[in-house]
Amino acid sequence: MTQDAPAAVPRETAQPRWLYRRGELARDGWESVVDAATPGWQHTGLRVAELGVGEELRFPAHTVHGHAVERIVVPLAGSFLVEHSAGEPVALAGRASVFHGPSDVLYLPGGTSGAVRASGSKRRRWPSQSGHC
């Protein structure tokens, strides 16, 4: 007596990409945006921007699937002033480069809007989470 083989399980034909060239994920003034719109990505996000001295990037309060997005501002290099709706402006001292020790970090609660202004040029990253895991 032979058993029938189980039905084949369909496989996802498009594999998510994990490597992108600089600028491929540029959107809304950000050099790179990784979020739920990126195929295969969920629950967290990352935004990277390079700002010259005095340049500013604004961020609105944001929700994903009804959950307010929390943010963390991490200067990769340089220093920044963060003005936000959750309190007083915060100066992040930053560092010369990613190889020059730890950097200041700022947590922004969900529902926070504001702006990041470079007081020294360079890049910073912006991890976030949707509050829905």
Domain residues for the domain of 110 are 42-129
**Environment class of residue 82 by beta-carbon count within 10 Å: exposed (0-12), middle (13-18) or buried (19+)?**
buried
Say if 19 falls within a structural domain.
no
Of the chain, the percentage scoring pLDDT greater than 70 comes to: 78
Degrees to nearest 5, angle at CA 107 with 106 and 110: 145
Confidence class for position 119, pLDDT limits 50, 70, 90: confident
Say if 35 falls within a structural domain.
no
CATH number at residue 121: 2.60.120.10
Number of domains in the chain: 1
d(CA 5, CA 19): 37
pLDDT > 60? residue 3:
no
Say if 61 falls within a structural domain.
yes
Q: What is the pTM of this model?
A: 0.73
Q: Tell me the per-residue pLDDT of 53-95, one tens digit each, with 9 for 90 and over.
A: 889 999 899 888 888 989 999 988 888 999 999 999 999 988 8
Q: Tell me the per-residue pLDDT of 4-60, one tens digit each, with 9 for 90 and over.
A: 554 554 445 566 788 899 899 999 888 999 988 888 888 888 999 888 888 999 989
| Mean pLDDT score across all residues of the chain | 82
